[in-house]
Amino acid sequence: MESSCDETAAAVLCSERGLLSNIVASQDDAHAPFGGVVPEIAARAHMGIIDSVIDRAVSEAGVGYADISAVAATSGPGLIGGVITGLLAAKGLASALDVPLLAVNHLEGHALSPRIEAECPFPYLLLLVSGGHSQLIAVHGLGDYERLGSTIDDAAGEAFDKTAKVMGLGFPGGPQVERWAMEGDDKAVRLPRPLLDRDSCDFSFAGLKTAVARAYDASDKSDAAKQDLAASFQTALADCLTDRTARAMQRFGARYEERRFVIAGGVAANKTLRARLIETADAHGFTPIFPPLKFCGDNAAMIARAGLERFEAGLHSPLSAPARPRWPLDAEAAASAPKSGSGRRGPKS
């Protein structure tokens, strides 16, 4: 089960037969009037539909509840109301069926998503770009993750959504910005490339997001102006991502002969970004690996995959496993050098 943001999802995965079902119920219509995800609306929507989504996943898989060997669910990070809803449903089901619970890190689900339907051996370099996260991670193995870089403020997906909201392009913002950018001139508007050419693998998108808002305020608000600004923003963001990724490839490649590069998360569906990252991978001798588009956004298949690997490794979770709004993959690095905020709830990244 996956319910960390605005999708209510459930999937059934079999170690021998593969993915049997993958149901995703979107909340886009509920959040569209606000131009972004409203946590209270998301939590209530999860509560109203999660039982039926689970039932549908089991039914479409052609199995019965008695056939289930374990129950996996996102335990964080994410919007806490949604995380609690999915995790409590998983705990109730695991308890009723007397099977193990597997509390999964949402980011680990993305990290393992290329392994859902294809071979993707460890180790590999991961670029995770989504609405809430922008990170470069060396994936050494199950549960063994090393942060090479992270955003120090906003995530790439958030920058897409806010750009779309400023220009009134609609929600979700990423696909809308990409659509408008197709007809625009990506050199029409001068925008910053935060941290470009710095000797690190960290990202920063807050300044870019602010620059887009100012550029739009100064424009004539025409469709042509929107297209040019969308294209200029998309290229600026791609420049930042490819520059940081190239530096991470240099560091990863100095340690491993196996040079696999995985791009995961909702922003990985952007075709322009994909093309730029493939060029970067080719230039540094890496094999680019993209999960299928249906596994790029939030989905339960990736949680099922992470859960299966943990189940087979004997890494079961207690029924007391907490719901976590923050849960970095590389907890040690996040605790010692947080990139984007730390407080009573712990480091964000």
CATH code: domain of residue 189: 3.30.420.40
Residue of higher predicted confidence among 131 and 187: 187
pLDDT in tens, 293-345: 899 999 999 999 999 999 999 999 999 999 999 999 987 666 656 665 544 44
101 in a structural domain: yes
| Residue 244 and residue 142 share a domain | yes
348 in a structural domain: no
341 in a structural domain: no
Q: Assess whether pLDDT exceeds 50 at residue 253.
A: yes
| Residue 176 and residue 278 share a domain | yes
| Residue 273 and residue 176 share a domain | yes
| Residue 268 and residue 172 share a domain | yes
| Residue 285 and residue 307 share a domain | no
338 in a structural domain: no
334 in a structural domain: no
Let me know: does 299 contact 5? Beta carbons within 8 Å: no
Q: What is the mean pLDDT of residues 152-175?
A: 93
340 in a structural domain: no
The number of folded domains in the chain is 2
pTM above 0.75, yes or no: yes
pLDDT in tens, 263-279: 999 898 999 999 999 99
309 in a structural domain: yes
| Residue 98 and residue 25 share a domain | yes
| Residue 228 and residue 133 share a domain | yes
| Residue 207 and residue 125 share a domain | yes
88 in a structural domain: yes
Let me know: does 347 contact 332? Beta carbons within 8 Å: no
Q: Assess whether pLDDT exceeds 80 at residue 94.
A: yes
| Residue 246 token pair | 């190239």
| Residue 213 and residue 98 share a domain | no
Q: Assess whether pLDDT exceeds 80 at residue 181.
A: yes
Integer Cα distance of 246 and 58 in angstroms: 42
Let me know: does 76 contact 106? Beta carbons within 8 Å: yes
> 39: closest CA among 50, 27, 49, 48?
27
Please state, rounded to an integer, the average pLDDT across all residues of the chain.
Answer: 93
| Residue 170 and residue 144 share a domain | yes
Confidence at residue 207, expressed as pLDDT on a 0 to 100 scale: 95
| Residue 304 and residue 224 share a domain | no
Domain that holds residue 95: 7-111+295-328
Q: What is the mean pLDDT of residues 170-197?
A: 94
